[in-house]
Structure 1
């Protein structure tokens, strides 16, 4: 991505959800058609799981029979994967175009998954509570301006004893300048949550595609790891697991990384320098 000094349509006063939803709507079909999401493999192989869910299987444990909700589910590949592991899943996203692709995936695979269009902050009002599992995958929290409000949503959705399972891009990774030609790892963006968004204008997307897009301005926020944990604790959850990983399921730093046997990307040189993602689990007290 490239930082945009002249936000244009992202000027102050523009609702971030309107801008971000337009961007996701614009890209949903291209994501579903890209080999990176492997929609055709989902349709052909009833045992196939998304790379994100498969990576965390040792930590996820048995979800069979659990009533779960996947927040910010996009085109539903992680949601369908959790369904294939036996959970009774609902997917929620604010992008209608994304949910069109998610419902198509569920139809093609015979997955009994409900998909609901709503903003994540409205999830308790739309879905109620009593869930055994709240799941959130990579690249979700950066679209939300208030991590404490999000933690309150998670707590409201969960039954007592229910758990949150989250894998997310590490805030250290989000804070780096990913475009430097000299290969240095330089912190250039906010690590901590700030009121004002980082405004980006970027014409592509993170999957392999030849599609072109027209809605290219987005508003994003970073949330420090301590901010995420503290928000969950204050919302009435207890932390039961936190693992930082030196890898990510996409090439976050092109030209500086190598893909491993599990499909994850990590730094070619001294990968232990950088946490790229983390997996967190917390239970509602």
Structure 2
């Protein structure tokens, strides 16, 4: 397992500075406008729990734009990520924006060794996060352990059907990758990244896993959480299928044709009872 962690860490370490410099992450706008929120968080404003005065944890927080957005909604935020360069960018953004956010370096698997169990009212996980984890049931158990009784999980991510689609095909929606969780990851070797940048990357390989929606829900229920929301969406925050999508409101993208054919993202909420 350490091999894929180090492979992905090198990949994300190199992306931290180019992502922070890219206009797509809008770092300067966060600094210039104290009310600005990331488009990912803005999309889910009608679905998020009340964050005022609550202790919240953002798992796999990357450079902290969503973390800062949640802090601006009133949460006392902690961000966790395994990439030191990403956390350096996140801390720099928080300092420039005048936000008091705690950042901790750790993998999700080691989170209970660096964070207090039962300490959080909300655990938040955003777009493109859980695909980097090999075992969704282990993830759910860790989330449940981090939450206090009555605390809530909030997750929005790419739909597992989207992750299974061949993004290179322009003539049809074709399943290419596993829908279900597999023992071994799918390894990609891609030269660029998902934001505008002129950086030429050296660490281009990454390893990821899909998790079927039933596997995810079963993991959440199996960890002792009660599902309170599961909503599938026809939009996604980036052009996931290039050449086949159009931009819509809230900086989202949907299929140009046949938008009812494929769910692109989902939002899930669950509460820890007790």
Task: Tell me the TM-score normalised to structure 1 length.
Answer: 0.94
Residue matched to 2:194: 206
Residues 1:280 and 2:268 aligned together? yes
Residue matched to 1:160: 149
Residue matched to 1:176: 165
Moved over 6 A (4+): none
Determine the C-alpha separation between the residues in 2 that align with 1:205 and 1:86. 31
Residues 1:144 and 2:133 aligned together? yes
Residue matched to 2:250: 262
How far 1:125 moved relative to its partner? 1.6
How far 1:14 moved relative to its partner? 6.5
- Equivalent residues of 2:144, 2:224 under 8 A apart: yes
Residue matched to 2:48: 60
- Equivalent residues of 2:56, 2:122 under 8 A apart: yes
Determine the C-alpha separation between the residues in 2 that align with 1:94 and 1:244. 29
CA deviation map 1:218-257 (0-9, x unaligned): 1100000010010010100000000000100100001000
Structure 1 gaps, min length 5: 1-12
Determine the C-alpha separation between the residues in 1 that align with 2:121 and 2:2. 36
How far 1:89 moved relative to its partner? 0.3
CA RMSD between the two structures: 0.9
CA deviation map 1:246-280 (0-9, x unaligned): 10010000100000122110001121111000000
- Equivalent residues of 2:42, 2:250 under 8 A apart: no
Residue matched to 2:103: 115
Residue matched to 1:189: 177
Task: Tell me the TM-score normalised to structure 2 length.
Answer: 0.98
Residues 1:253 and 2:241 aligned together? yes
Residues 1:102 and 2:102 aligned together? no
Residue matched to 1:31: 19
Residue matched to 1:3: none
Residue matched to 2:213: 225
Residues 1:90 and 2:78 aligned together? yes
CA deviation map 1:46-84 (0-9, x unaligned): 000000111000010321001010000000000000000
Structure 2 gaps, min length 5: none
Residue matched to 2:223: 235
Determine the C-alpha separation between the residues in 2 that align with 1:269 and 1:53. 26
